[in-house]
Chains A and B, each alone.
Chain A
Amino acid sequence: AQTVTQSQPEMSVQEAETVTLSCTYDTSESDYYLFWYKQPPSRQMILVIRQEAYKQQNATENRFSVNFQKAAKSFSLKISDSQLGDAAMYFCAFGFYGQNFVFGPGTRLSVLP
Chain B
Amino acid sequence: GAVVSQHPSWVICKSGTSVKIECRSLDFQATTMFWYRQFPKQSLMLMATSNEGSKATYEQGVEKDKFLINHASLTLSTLTVTSAHPEDSSFYICSASPRLLLDTGELFFGEGSRLTVL
Contacts and interface: CB of A to CB of B under 8 A. Distances in A.
Contact of B105 (A37, A95, A103, A104): A95
Contacts, number: 52
A44 B112 contact: yes
**For chain A, what secondary structure do more than half of its interface residues adopt (helix, strand, loop), or is it mixed?**
loop
A97 to B, nearest CB: 5
A50 B43 CA distance: 19
Interface in A94-113: 95-101, 103-106, 108
A96 B109 contact: no
Contact of B43 (A42, A47, A91): A91
Contact of B44 (A91, A97, A99, A108): A91
A91 B32 CA distance: 21
Interface string A29-50: 0001101010000111101001
Nearest to A35: B106
B46 interface: yes
A78 B40 CA distance: 25
Interface of B: 31-32, 34, 38, 41-44, 46, 49, 91, 93, 95, 97, 103-107, 109, 111-112, 114
